Amino acid sequence: MTQVNRLSGGLIDRNAPLSFRFDGKTYQGHKGDTLASALLANGVRLMGRSFKYHRPRGVMTAGSEEPNALVELRSGAAQEPNTRATTAELFDGLEANSQNRWPSLAWDALAINDTFSNFLTAGFYYKTFMWPRAFWEKLYEPIIRKAAGLGSISFEPDPDQYDKGFRHCDLLIIGAGPTGLAAALTAGRAGLDVILADEDFALGGRLNAEQFDVGDQSGAHWAANTVAELASLPNVRVMARTSILGAFDHGIYGAVERVSDHLARPEAGKPRQILWRIYTKRALLCAGAMERPIGFENNDRPGIMLASAMRAYANRWAATPAQEIAVFTNNDDGHRTAADLAAKGVTVAAVIDTRENAPKTGSYEVLAGAEITGTQGRLGLRSVDVKMANGQTRRIACGALGVSGGWNPNVHLTCHQRGKPEWREDIAGFVPGAVLPQGMSVAGAAQGIFPTAACMMSGAEAATDICADLGAPTPAIDLPSTEDAPVNITPFWHVQGAKRAWLDQQNDVTAKDVKLAHQENFVSVEHLKRYTTLGMATDQGKTSNIPGLAIMAELSGKQIPQVGTTIFRPPYTPTAIGALAGRSRDEDFRPTRKTPSHVWAEEQGAQFVEVGMWLRAQYFPRPGETHWRQSVDREVLQTRNSVGICDVTTLGKIDVQGADAAAFLNKIYANGFAKLPVGKVRYGLMLREDGIAMDDGTAARFAEDHFVVTTTTANAVPVYRHMEFVRQCLFPNMDVQLISTTEAWAQFSVAGPNARKLLQKVVDAEHDISNEAFPYMACGQITVANGLRARLFRISFSGELAYEIAVPTRYGDAMIRKLVEAGKEFDAVVYGTEALGVMRIEKGHAAGNELNGTTTALNLGMGRMVSKKKDSIGSTLSERDGLNTEDALKLVGFKPVDTEHPVPAGAHLMTKGDPVNAAHDQGYITSACYSPNLGCHIGIGYLKSGDTRLGEVVRLVSPLTGLDHDVEVVSAHFVDPEGERLRA
Amino acid sequence: MIIHHPILGPRDSAEFTYLGDANLIHRPDWQAEDALAQFTDYGYQRKNPAGVHRELWFHEQGDRSWLVVTRNTVTHEITKVELARDVARAEGRDT
């Protein structure tokens, strides 16, 4: 197919033809095209269907503000919905499809919505789908979601990679138009560390879209030469295809660089996009301005676009939407479109200017004081109806119409820290307010300065001021002479009497909808936005907000600045979720921590479980075992009958040293540590300041001034943070230092009747670990395997004769192999977290399920451990009445009366004969397991006054799962209640 | 946000963990007559101002200093950063 609407000139590479597909049809374009420019060159004006009414729509802009020409780009897993055809860079093989139409773009069944538009006005959903309530979720919403909407998603994982990066600079210049380039030259030559970022792939902004010269060369040439000079400066980094998304606190900017979106697929090893966090000393906003439309009857037909966009397509991309065009304007700038297209050989049917004093700008007809009252052409513009100054109506044939309602400075980023823009009457637009994000200044069109020469001057001056601020000497810059036309505009927002004048084409909001909202007393502009949806969705109303505000002002008899604007928030343009996630997805969503015995456990075919970020061996299935409980039961019984080994490295370890180490632990723990002898370990209970149990563990005293504290796996980080808080903020004069050594030591539990015999084969002979020399709760620094330093603790979580032995982490793998080897003669078993859990429940030891953030020492049965003789964190508030009631929950054990019954954690407990409801709740099961030693399920949990109810039978209920049976209240110490084994 | 650490210079706030009101330094005397009431206020009463606020930040991904940061909760302007330990000592915490 030929490119029927391709013009001469432009910045496309005619030696690089590209082939692409749109809605299944193949077209040709050139390198340098966007999807939108290539479609226009191929005579395609119809590019999409509108959100609500499914009206045929064409491209409206030539930039990232595009509301209409949204397409699904690429296919399969890489398919991306709602991509703007105006920013999609053409590449060979590009595949795009239109959205929100069925069965085809030209014939869309749901265009029938348009016929019922009288019903589908603002607030339609709120008013209509009110009743019956249950229908909303099941019936109305699914239908509406299907009928209305934008693109579809692939439901497949994103196949691309995204990265995150950090950059630092003295000055970030946002936008590489004439203002930004002049500023970058000034600051770059002065030696500042500069980043120049622009969302476009061709830098230069409007210079690439205009005919006028800069100095003795074309604007595009001047831009290209300037960018080349900047790129040659070592202190300037030029970032094309990079959108600044937001201005954040303290001079930090977010940006997304589209590294590979202009390629069929990313180069090997390259990400698709990079999310940058840019730290700046100063930022200069040179984001330019955006043209805004005028509202008139049926102003949304394919072929009707912004005048500046039409001019950009002709000048930069050598494409025109039609061979015969017209222009509708309220200012001088619109005439430039007519002049430029006429110069390219396009027929200009007329320039319709709302001003009586419209200038005569070319050989085409200018209709002064005229308005457009209607348009024709369902799938593409055919003609416009013009009401002349003399009141007569004329129909003018044209295939495209350029509309110019004036220019809005791009103030968005100035408002990201709640800055409020201010109205300027002479340009009929908002400019940045006085309060800007820290370190930001604004220059050029973004500041309301429109003539190109003045823009360059403004950019250079702003850069000079910044250089002076940062102490860099600034050489004078000779700026070339260029376009310097004054702004001549008479505000004109919409043609009166129009029934369907589209303001927000993305959301199908008309001037009438704004009127309706006003009638229904939506006074606040924020409410107007939510009620009508004006300014929402992917374009965030970049072209529609100001005309909407103008109409709101007119209706309420206010001035535009009194109506105010809605709040601009990041991101400036739609951003792929993938870019925000970066590499933090799938298995890299967060770090994975592996224990020192991980490789060995993998070799054994262990089943692993996630515990926080740790991967721990859950159990070790043996051949012939078909159910996890077979493995776990075996591991438990073998440990209790002989000896078991378990990697317990994940427990937090904190080294506490200093003259006041014992005094410090006295503050941290509810129980006392001052009198703990060297060479001994003590269990410690840590409270939060509000008296609730925080964590538990042990503290081993290796010297008068040296303790090693352990924490639970889950609380290793918060406990360390808490201890540093107590040390630095509460007791700043204590002589004590803390360091986390969790990762420094590989630690193994060795438990069971043969534990000592096994360890005696591993521990060097000079260390006596007999029961007499190394009794229960002893600790010591020893050596293993002929001199390797190690730490030995005689502590027990399982209730057996048990030790924990620690070696430097790099010896962890060797240590597990040595222990297993030494254990062979005792038929030692290595057990995982499941068996660990079974044995601690059998022993009634509390863990995370019991220390659940609502329970106190009293609940845990450790009330008397809280020393009243000393001050410790939480001791005072633990005495509150509410925490010490007569019927306080107490930790006890539970056994089913019928031993076949389960005892699931989370089940609640009721007194026999009481109704089953919350008011009669007696407590709940916290941890449960099958006990191979008792031959039935057991549980531990909290029961009101539980310690006085041993032997009582209570009801265990779980209304959710239909459980209701009897359990007996027993001591939580199911195995060896006297503790004889662990002292053996 | 950027926090100017008194020892380490400007650091991204992402390196820190936030705790809250710096009044948490003012832990009451456990032996006071009305210790329970004092601890209740200490534990539960916060000013939550829209404006200047002194608050505790922990440099968890850094040197593990607790800092007292004076920050405007409306504008996020940070006017002062001190080591919490220095603040606690200056306020006369005795141990």
Q: Which residue from A761, A720, A730, A573 is spatially nearest to A663, judged by alpha carbons? A: A730
Partner B, chain A 710-739, Cβ-Cβ below 8 Å: 717, 721, 724-725, 728-734
- Which residues of chain A does B71 touch, with a Cβ-Cβ cutoff of 8 Å? none
**Containing domain of residue A313, as a range?**
302-403
Residue of chain B minimizing CA distance to A878 = B36
| pLDDT at residue A347 greater than cutoff 90 | yes
Q: Tell me if B54 is assigned to some domain.
A: yes
Question: Mean pLDDT across the stretch A382-402?
Answer: 97
Amino acid at A832: G
DSSP SS3 for A374: strand
Q: Tell me if B6 is assigned to some domain.
A: yes
The verdict on A690 touching B (C-beta cutoff 8 Å) is yes
**Containing domain of residue B21, as a range?**
2-26+47-90
Tens of pLDDT, residues A448-481 = 999 999 999 999 999 999 999 999 988 778 899 9
Q: How far is A36 from chain B (nearest CA, A)?
A: 39
Amino acid at A868: K
A731 → closest Cβ in B28, B30, B95? B95
Residue of chain B minimizing CA distance to A872 = B30
First-last CA distance in chain B: 33
Q: Tell me if A880 is assigned to some domain.
A: no
Question: Mean pLDDT across the stretch A406-426?
Answer: 95
Contacts of A835 by beta carbon, 8 Å cutoff, 6+ apart: A619, A632, A635, A636, A639, A644, A646
| pLDDT at residue A1 greater than cutoff 60 | no
pLDDT for A128 equals 64
pLDDT for A145 equals 66
Query: Which residue in this structure is represented by tokens 């950019």?
Result: A459
Q: Tell me if A519 is assigned to some domain.
A: yes
- What angle is formed at CA A590 by the lines to CA A589 and CA A591, rounded to 5 degrees? 135
Q: Tell me if A224 is assigned to some domain.
A: yes
Q: Tell me if B38 is assigned to some domain.
A: no
CATH code for position A734: 3.30.70.1400
Q: Tell me if A859 is assigned to some domain.
A: no
Tens of pLDDT, residues A675-700 = 999 999 999 999 999 999 999 999 99
Q: How far is A948 from chain B (nearest CA, A)?
A: 29
Question: Mean pLDDT across the stretch A57-64?
Answer: 97
pLDDT > 70 fraction of chain A, expressed in percent and rounded: 97
- Which residues of chain A does B76 touch, with a Cβ-Cβ cutoff of 8 Å? 249-250
Greater confidence (A960 vs A789) lies with: A789
Strand partners, A22: A25, A96
Q: Tell me if B74 is assigned to some domain.
A: yes
Q: What is the CA radius of gyration of chain A?
A: 38
Same domain, A802 and A945: no
Cis before A132? omega within 30: yes
Do the Cβ atoms of A877 and B60 come within 8 Å? Answer: no
Tens of pLDDT, residues B6-59 = 999 999 999 999 999 999 999 999 999 999 999 999 999 999 999 999 999 999
CATH code for position A817: 3.30.1360.120
Same domain, A599 and A557: no
DSSP A684: E
Number of compact structural domains in chain B: 1
Do the Cβ atoms of B60 and A721 come within 8 Å? Answer: yes
Same domain, A35 and A124: yes
For chain B, where are the E strands, in sequence order? 2-5, 9-12, 17-21, 52-58, 66-72, 78-83
Contact A668, A873 (CB under 8 A): yes
Contact B21, B41 (CB under 8 A): no
Same domain, A448 and A314: no
Question: Mean pLDDT across the stretch A744-768?
Answer: 98
Contact A50, A106 (CB under 8 A): no
Tens of pLDDT, residues A830-845 = 999 999 999 999 999 9
Same domain, A258 and A316: no
Q: Give the H or E element holding residue A657.
A: strand A652-657
Q: Sort A627 into a burial class: Cβ within 10 Å, 0-12 / 13-18 / 19+.
A: exposed
CATH code for position A337: 3.50.50.60
A724 → closest Cβ in B27, B66, B75? B66
Same domain, A240 and A252: yes
Greater confidence (A2 vs B94) lies with: A2
The verdict on B95 touching A (C-beta cutoff 8 Å) is yes
Tens of pLDDT, residues A142-171 = 766 666 667 888 899 999 999 999 999 999
Q: Which residue from A7, A2, A37, A35 is spatially nearest to A21, judged by alpha carbons? A: A35
pLDDT for B95 equals 62
Do the Cβ atoms of B30 and A249 come within 8 Å? Answer: no
pLDDT for B92 equals 87
Same domain, A417 and A527: no
Cis before A103? omega within 30: yes
Mean pLDDT of chain A: 95
The verdict on B79 touching A (C-beta cutoff 8 Å) is no
The verdict on A655 touching B (C-beta cutoff 8 Å) is no
Give the full edge-to-edge strand order of the sheet including A371-376.
Answer: A371-376, A383-387, A393-397
Number of residues assigned to chain B:
95
pLDDT for A475 equals 79
Q: Which residue from A547, A430, A640 is spatially nearest to A60, judged by alpha carbons? A: A547
pLDDT for A129 equals 62
Q: Tell me if B77 is assigned to some domain.
A: yes
Q: Tell me if A860 is assigned to some domain.
A: no
CATH code for position A507: 1.10.10
The verdict on B81 touching A (C-beta cutoff 8 Å) is no
Do the Cβ atoms of A252 and B17 come within 8 Å? Answer: no
- Other C-beta atoms closer than 10 Å to the C-beta of B11 total 20
pLDDT for A133 equals 66
- Which residues of chain B does A252 touch, with a Cβ-Cβ cutoff of 8 Å? 1-2, 12
Same domain, A580 and A602: no
Q: Which residue from A539, A557, A535 is spatially nearest to A548, judged by alpha carbons? A: A535
Domain finish residue from A548, A564, A587: A587
Number of compact structural domains in chain A: 7
pLDDT for A748 equals 98
Q: Which two tokens stand for residue A206?
A: 């409007």
Tens of pLDDT, residues A717-747 = 999 999 999 999 999 999 999 999 999 999 9
Same domain, A25 and A123: yes
pLDDT for A403 equals 98
Q: pLDDT band for position A111 (50/70/90)?
A: confident
Same domain, A344 and A242: no
pLDDT for A32 equals 98
CATH code for position B64: 3.30.2270.10
Alpha helices in A576-730 (DSSP H): 577-581, 598-603, 628-641, 661-668, 716-725
Same domain, A893 and A964: yes
Strand partners, A615: A594, A610
| pLDDT at residue A296 greater than cutoff 90 | yes
Partner A, chain B 30-69, Cβ-Cβ below 8 Å: 30-31, 35-36, 39-40, 42-43, 56, 58, 60, 64-66
Domain finish residue from A140, A155, A170: A155
d(CA A196, CA A514): 40
A729 → closest Cβ in B30, B56, B76? B56
CATH code for position A143: 3.10.20.440
pLDDT > 70 fraction of chain B, expressed in percent and rounded: 99
pLDDT for A476 equals 77
Q: Which residue from A546, A522, A524 is spatially nearest to A535, judged by alpha carbons? A: A546
